[in-house]
């Protein structure tokens, strides 16, 4: 639980002390195909002295979970159907791209272990298709994140 929070509204952007967190959130949304990053899925935590931290929550609709069931998932560009208003894409785009570069350098064994751990937590025993998809998407992270950012810019 994150204390002292409100949901996203564009008026918070000037007080956020971790705007790179918004960029990392956008990269994660691009890689895991999270289509519903609406206002209620972004928390703004009051840290005092007119500053706030941003937190991304609720990844339950991540389409990456459909890997192996839907052939379109592997190389798909995320198409957000509910994206919070006022996310400053031009401001957070560089940090999203830095996150994509970091994602592209994560070792395959680390990604497999993370997906398996998440699968155990979620009660999913068959994770190999998701593992392979996550690995592919991380290898292609720069292209997928850039495509997602462009999609978001066009929708504004």
Residue 81 reports pLDDT greater than 80: yes
Query: Residue 142: what pLDDT?
Result: 98
What's the mean pLDDT in 80-87?
90
Q: Which residue has the tokens 């994150």?
A: 2
Query: Residue 32: what pLDDT?
Result: 96
CA distance 60 to 36: 9
pLDDT tens, residue by residue, 53-73 = 999 999 889 999 999 888 789
Query: Residue 26: what pLDDT?
Result: 96
Decide if 60 contacts 109 (C-beta within 8 A): no
Q: How much of the chain, in percent, has pLDDT values that exceed 90? A: 76
Residue 19 reports pLDDT greater than 90: no
CA distance 23 to 9: 16
């Amino acid at each position: 639980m994150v204390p002292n929070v409100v949901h996203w509204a564009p008026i918070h952007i000037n007080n956020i002390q971790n705007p790179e967190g918004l960029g990392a959130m956008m990269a994660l949304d691009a890689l895991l195909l999270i289509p519903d990053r609406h206002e209620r899925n972004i928390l703004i935590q009051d840290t005092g002295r007119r500053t706030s931290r941003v937190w991304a929550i609720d990844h339950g609709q991540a389409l990456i979970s459909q890997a192996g069931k839907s052939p379109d998932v592997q190389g798909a560009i995320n198409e957000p159907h509910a994206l919070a208003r006022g996310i400053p894409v031009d401001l957070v785009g560089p940090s999203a791209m830095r996150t994509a570069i970091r994602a592209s350098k994560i070792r395959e064994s680390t990604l497999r272990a993370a997906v398996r751990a998440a699968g155990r937590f979620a009660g999913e025993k068959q994770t190999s298709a998701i593992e392979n998809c996550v690995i592919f998407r991380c290898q292609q992270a720069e292209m997928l994140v850039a495509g997602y950012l462009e999609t978001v810019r066009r929708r504004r």
